[in-house]
Every structure is written in C-alpha cells, then in structure tokens.
Amino acid sequence: MPETQVIFLLSMPRAGSTLLQRLLMGSGVCKTVGEPSFLLRLLGEGDPILRAASYNEELVETAVRDLRKAWAGFDDCYRSGVRDLANAIYRGLADGAPYFIDKTPRYSVIARELIETFPDAKFIVLWRHPLAVVNSMNTTYRHGRWAPQAFDLDLRYGMDRLRTLCEAHGPRVHQVRYEDLAADPGKELAALGDYLGIEGLAEVADRDLEAGNHGQLGDPTGVKKYKKVSPDSISEWEGAVRNWCRERWVKEYFSGERAEFFRSLGYDLPQRMKDGTVPLGLVEGLRDWLYGQRIIHRRLLRPLGGKRRLRRDAEKRGYHVAYR
C-alpha cells in the first residue's frame, strides 16, 4: 500500500456521500477535508467541462491539441505530473494517517480521467435512487421547487460517466447503495473495510457520527440533523412525482441504457407511475414547467451566471476583467 492510500469517493450530489465520509472518518485511520475539488482544474476537457475564467477555455484546449500533435508523450507526462502533485497534497493533508478521502461529487464528470491518472487509488461509487437525488437537490438548492434541469450535468453526463466507470473497471471499484448503507450500515461497512483493508470498520456503525467533515463544502443539512445513521430518508422522495410535468420528466429520464442500469441497481419507477395513479396536477404542473423553462432560458443566455459574476466581481475589484 502507498505511504498514504488515496480513496476517491464518487457519487451524485445529495446521494449521501457526506454520510459515508463521516463514517469513514470514524475509523480513526482516515483523514479528509470537506470536498477538495482541486482536480477539477487539472483534469477533464471537452464540451461538458466549462470553466469560468478570465481566459478562453476553448483556446486552451486548442493549444493542448497542438501539444499532443507535437509530442506523443504529452498526456502521460501531464498525468504523471498531476498524480505527483495530488499525491503530495494528499500526503500533507493526511498528516501521517494511512488513508486520505477525496470526496468531491462533481468528480463524476472526470471519473475516467481519475482512474487512469491514479492507478493505485481506491474508488468507491455511492449510488442512490436517482429520484431521491433529484428530490434532495430540489429541496436543498431550489427551496423545494421542481428543477431537475438545473442539475443536468450531474444527472445526465455525470451519472453516465459513473456508470461507464463501474462497467469498465468493475474489479477496481467498490459500489455501495445508499439505501443499503442506511438500512444496515454494519454489513455495508464490513464489505467496504475488506475492500479498503481497514479492520473493524463495521464497528463504526454503532458510534456517533463525526460532527462534520472538516471543510465548508458538503451536506448542509444532514451534518446537523443526524448524529447516527438513520433509514428515515430512504423513501422520502416517493411523493415527489405528483403532477403531469414531473411524470413526463421522469419517463424521459428513465429510458434507454440509463433505465436498464438503474434497474440493475434495484432502482425503478415509483409505484404510482407503474399503477397510473399520478395526479394530473394541472396548475402545479404548469408552474413546474414554467419554472423549468425559465431555468433553461437563463442558462442559455447566461451560462454559469456569467453576467452577474462579471458585474459582482467588477464591483469588488473596482474594474472589469475581459475574457480573452
């Protein structure tokens, strides 16, 4: 095992990763700091990876393609440098502990790059019913309004990248379902301990959870709400699909290869959709549809809140920065 064993904990946002992070912290051998996130600056490229910066990301990608053409060894050298840099940072953050956990949900979009760059790392993928994820996102970030369009990068591209990672690198990846973890934490932690090489990890299930994750990023509600693992949130989402607009979105999302993969994990459509008993909810559905259209419109006209960010940053600095 390396001097510091790096563990990447990958999941969708609001899938319970902070809970699993706190459980691993309780082992006494794992260090972590919030959601490190810094590898998002160093790995990943292409259309889905949009970085807000004072330079033009497309020009950088064009330059990188030129470097690849000029030298076949560019990618190997770059990833070796990223690996050495990250491992040095992880060792420093671990401060002598044998394990360091990098729990960053948005790493789903660079999952392939991560597993190729860090051949000695351990990878945990935490799954949760996608509709539970959507419901929790809406509750936490949209004040309960139905707005899955705001999280398309995670729900579609990120979800598909995690699925591809598990299918292509099965033996290297340990998969956990949030529902199983919440219902029987001892059993799931025992299996996880075998994968990670941490003895007695199952005993953590009987202890109080760590008070936080030593960072500002992470679950803003569960850290305060739960001191022990609780199954209470497993089925909270089931009543969320309650009008024509939500049912239509769910039918489109649960389709094709994605739906087959969800079912292989034991995730299916809510029972009321199978029974055909979802209320029409004409007025509420119209409100949801209009809210979703507003989000799509704003994203198209102002990607990443560009105009607001420019104005806010200019007020702070006293001058404007041009994108070049």
Instruction: Please write the tens of the pLDDT for every residue from 98-157.
Output: 999 999 999 999 999 999 999 999 999 999 999 999 999 999 889 889 999 889 889 999
pLDDT of res. 323: 45
User: Considering only CA atoms, which of 162, 206, 205, 155 is closest in space to residue 181?
Assistant: 205
Domains of the chain: 5-233 (3.40.50.300)
Exposure string (b/e) for 214-233, b if CB count within 10 Å is 16 or more?
Answer: eeeebbeebbeebeebeeeb
Query: pTM higher than 0.75, yes or no?
Result: yes
pLDDT of res. 277: 94
pLDDT of res. 279: 95
- Segment-wise mean pLDDT, segments of 10 residues, the chain, 324 residues: 87 93 93 93 77 76 93 96 97 95 94 96 97 93 90 91 94 96 95 96 86 69 64 84 95 93 94 93 95 76 59 66 46
User: Considering only CA atoms, which of 34, 237, 249, 255 is closest in space to residue 160?
Assistant: 255
Quote the CA–CA distance of 154 and 136 in Å, as a whole number.
13
Question: Using an 8 Å Cβ cutoff, are 5 and 122 in contact?
Answer: yes
pLDDT of res. 324: 42
Quote the CA–CA distance of 94 and 100 in Å, as a whole number.
6
- Kindly report the backbone phi and psi dihedral angles of residue 263, in degrees, each rounded to the nearest multiple of 5, phi listed first: -65, -35
Residue 6's SS3 state is strand
